[in-house]
């Protein structure tokens, strides 16, 4: 059944891509300003004129800064909120810093349990709102890059943001929330809270923050196999479909399908690897005389197939929602999520962020291919020169460098010690995964690494925990906005280049050969950057009989 489920899921996803992708292309290429859109722009006092890349980037940063301040205010004034039936107080300042940074950056890393920490008002007016707008920010940056590649004006951030929320995210979320509620996902202002309305956008916007501590493994967030299937589709729908949008907007659908093919190939390999790893016993289970699949930490209502597929979907995208315990995966099963994060959000990735990261890899592959044949690299008729390649390399290497530095600080200085639950290779994996996840704005975790300790433990606000909160928050902010600014700078550089007709020596970028070159570039530059670290963690664990 697991294999059948995986095949059906892939078939449905393929059917969705041209439908949703074509719709989004019409949204972002339409010159018509609808009355509701005009009203929003008027309230914002914004004229829908195209911006330069610097102005577009400044708008992104300004909007995100205001969002950060408003959300911090909401979380720090929780005792004054309506819809707080449990009478929750505000969290500590360092926990609030981490949480705010997490949701504004579309990471949704959670050092807290939602049902024991946040009021319904904080969940709705704070976190759910950020689930919409942080996702929209990622898409707007991608659309600006696509326009730059296509030699068109970059557009206006405020108009793109409005269109993304009103015409893409909100309509699908309304339908999706009703569907989930009909299947048993809770939606109320009493008892368990407004879950369905937050559940759909956390997945559709590749956010990932759960209303409950155990996230989508909890029956009130994900009751059955059907909702599990729908929620996985929600995570991949927009990131996958944007490849088709890209093809339409640059005037070559083959380009879009080539990029999709690269992503889809690596995605399927990951699913197969996790499914095979989790269908076998671990070395520790074998030593204990146990047989069958590794069901430790899994929900039986989803099975091995539903768990393996979700594990790859949530880490191939930047969602981070979980329906099983990652720390209970086999050594090799746990390696695949780490490798997905090592790819740097390029295998579908977050909404918008995934495709613009993959386009950076595409441009790098074009540059490498050009060097191999001794010609000036060109992409869609535009020559790639020193400025463009410098921006590409800086954008691609910023996140891996950030991960390695922060992991070293946590382990080398000892300040990360209070946050690490396990010892040995598992403890190392917990730490590495934490900063991989936060830097790549994913949010999933090997659950042992913590930034919050219960007051009764006598450790609330302890130095090591505060260290994890602050370092994690800074990691998420840097990992989000440095690549965004560099990507928009690249959009501006590409916008100013003239496209020339393809010649006999032009390397085609819509063929299986180029797709293979791109896959190789992603693997070498992305995942292999972390190979020594992977060897110290999940690989060592997979070769031993240790559980921890």
pLDDT digits (tens, 9 = 90+) for 183-230: 999 999 888 899 999 999 999 999 998 899 889 999 999 999 999 999
What does the pLDDT average to over 477-489? 96
Rounded to whole angstroms, how far apart are CA atoms 174 and 136?
A: 16
Please enumerate, as own/partner, the contacts of 14-19 that have beta carbons within 8 Å and a separation of 24 or more: 16/233, 16/237, 16/240, 16/241, 17/240, 17/241, 17/243, 17/244, 17/260, 18/241, 18/244, 19/241
Higher pLDDT, 61 or 381: 61
- In this structure, what DSSP letter does residue 508 have? P
Instruction: Give the closest residue to 534 by CA, choosing from 400, 441, 433.
Output: 433
Helix, strand, coil proportions of the chain in percent (round to 5)? Answer: 65, 0, 30
**Average pLDDT of span 31-45:** 88
Each residue's pLDDT tens digit, 9-19: 999 999 999 99
Task: Dump pLDDT digits (tens) for 71-85.
Answer: 999 999 999 989 988
DSSP letter for each residue of 305-323: HHHHHHHHHHHHSS----S
**Strands (E) located in 252-386:** 378-379, 382-383
Terminal alpha carbon distance of the chain: 30
pLDDT in tens, 260-290: 999 999 999 999 999 998 887 766 677 777 7
Q: Is the pLDDT assigned to residue 121 strictly greater than 60?
A: yes
Using the 8-state DSSP alphabet, how is residue 511 labeled? S
What is the predicted pLDDT for the residue at 446? Answer: 76
- 232 within 8 A of 226, measured Cβ to Cβ: no
Mean pLDDT of 373-399: 89
Give the separation between CA 41 and CA 531, rounded to whole angstroms.
Answer: 48
Is 453's pLDDT higher than 90? no
Residue indicated by tokens 């579309």: 106
Q: Is the pLDDT of residue 458 over 50?
A: no
For 327-365, what is each residue's pLDDT tens digit? Answer: 788 778 888 888 888 888 789 999 999 999 999 999 999
CA angle 181, 182, 183 (to 5 degrees): 90
* Cβ-Cβ contacts under 8 Å for 515 (sequence gap 6 or more): 258, 261, 262, 265
Distances (CA, A) of 330 to 113, 327, 335, 539, 540: 25, 8, 8, 10, 11
Q: What is the CB-side half-sphere exposure of residue 420 using CA atoms within 13 A?
A: 21
Whether 183 and 224 have beta carbons less than 8 Å apart is answered as yes
Beta bridge partners of 324: 298
In whole angstroms, how far apart are CA 420 and each of 354, 412, 429, 469, 540? 30, 13, 10, 13, 18
Q: What is the dihedral of CA 337, 339, 341, 347, to 10 degrees?
A: -100
CA separation for the pair 47, 59 (Å, rounded) = 13
Given a cut of 80, whether residue 436 has pLDDT beyond it is yes
Question: What are the residue ranges of helices labelled H in 330-462?
Answer: 331-342, 353-373, 386-412, 424-439
pLDDT at residue 543 in the model:
66
Cβ within 8 Å of residue 490, ≥6 positions away: 145, 148, 360, 363, 388, 391, 392, 395
Q: Of 228, 442, 249, 482, whose CA–CA distance to 346 is shortest?
A: 442
Find out whether 206 and 198 touch, Cβ atoms under 8 Å: no
Across the chain, what does the average pLDDT equal? 88
The strand pairing partners of 378, in sequence order, are 383
Place of tokens 């989508």: 216
Which pLDDT score, from 0 to 100, does residue 505 have?
65
Tallying the residues shown for the chain, one arrives at 548
How many helices (H) and strands (E) the chain has is answered by 22, 2
The whole-angstrom separation of Cα 117 and Cα 88 is 6
The better pLDDT of the pair 456, 271 is held by 271
Residue 454 has pLDDT above 60, yes or no: no
pLDDT at res. 452:
53
Task: Report d(CA 173, CA 196) in Å as an integer.
Answer: 10
């Amino acid at each position: 059944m697991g294999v059948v489920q995986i095949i059906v899921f892939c078939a449905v996803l393929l059917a969705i891509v041209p439908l949703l992708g074509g719709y989004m292309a019409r949204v972002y290429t339409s010159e018509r300003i609808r009355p509701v859109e005009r009203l929003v722009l008027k309230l914002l006092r914004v004229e829908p004129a195209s911006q330069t890349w610097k102005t577009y980037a400044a708008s992104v940063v300004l909007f995100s800064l205001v969002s950060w301040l408003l959300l911090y205010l909401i979380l720090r004034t929780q005792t004054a909120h309506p819809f707080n039936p449990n009478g929750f107080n505000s969290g500590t300042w360092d926990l609030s810093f981490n949480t705010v940074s997490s949701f504004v950056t579309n990471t949704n890393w959670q050092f807290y349990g939602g049902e024991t920490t946040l009021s319904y008002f904080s969940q709705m007016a704070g976190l759910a709102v950020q689930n919409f707008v942080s996702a929209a920010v990622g898409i707007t940056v991608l659309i600006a890059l696509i326009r730059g590649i296509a030699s068109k004006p970059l557009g206006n951030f405020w108009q793109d943001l409005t269109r993304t929320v009103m015409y893409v995210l909100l309509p699908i979320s309304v339908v999706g929330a009703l569907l989930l509620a009909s299947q048993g996902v809770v939606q109320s202002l009493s008892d368990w809270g407004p879950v369905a309305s937050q559940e759909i956008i956390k997945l559709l916007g590749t956010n990932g923050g759960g209303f409950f501590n155990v996230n989508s493994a909890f029956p009130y967030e994900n009751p059955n196999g059907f909702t599990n299937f729908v929620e996985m589709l929600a995570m991949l729908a927009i990131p996958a479909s944007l490849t088709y949008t890209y093809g339409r907007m640059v005037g070559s659908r083959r380009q879009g399908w080539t990029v999709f093919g690269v992503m889809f190939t690596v995605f399927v390999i990951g699913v197969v690897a996790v499914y095979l790893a989790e269908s076998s016993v671990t070395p520790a289970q074998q030593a204990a005389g146990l047989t069958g699949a590794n069901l430790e930490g899994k929900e039986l209502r989803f099975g091995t197939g539903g768990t393996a597929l979700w594990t790859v979907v949530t880490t191939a995208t930047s969602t981070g929602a979980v329906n099983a315990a990652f720390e209970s995966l086999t050594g090799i099963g746990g390696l695949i999520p780490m490798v997905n994060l090592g790819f740097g959000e390029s295998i579908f990735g977050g909404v918008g962020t995934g495709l613009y990261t993959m386009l950076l890899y595409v441009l790098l592959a074009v540059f490498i291919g050009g060097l191999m044949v001794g010609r000036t690299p060109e992409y869609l008729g535009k020559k790639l020169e020193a400025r463009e390649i410098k921006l590409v390399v800086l954008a691609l290497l910023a996140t891996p460098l950030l991960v390695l530095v922060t992991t070293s600080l946590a382990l080398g200085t000892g300040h990360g010690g209070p946050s690490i639950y396990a010892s040995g290779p598992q403890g190392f994996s917990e730490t590495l995964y934490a900063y991989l996840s936060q830097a790549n704005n994913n949010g999933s975790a090997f659950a042992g690494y913590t930034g919050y300790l219960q007051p009764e433990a006598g450790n609330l606000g302890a130095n090591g925990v505060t260290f994890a909160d602050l370092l994690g928050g800074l990691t998420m902010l840097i990992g989000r906005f440095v690549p965004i600014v560099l990507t928009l700078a690249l959009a501006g550089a590409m916008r100013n280049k003239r496209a020339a007709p393809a010649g006999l020596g032009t390397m085609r970028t819509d063929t299986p050969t180029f797709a293979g070159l791109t896959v190789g570039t992603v693997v070498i530059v992305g995942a292999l950057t972390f190979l020594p670290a992977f060897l110290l963690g999940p690989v060592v664990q997979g070769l031993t009989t240790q559980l921890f």
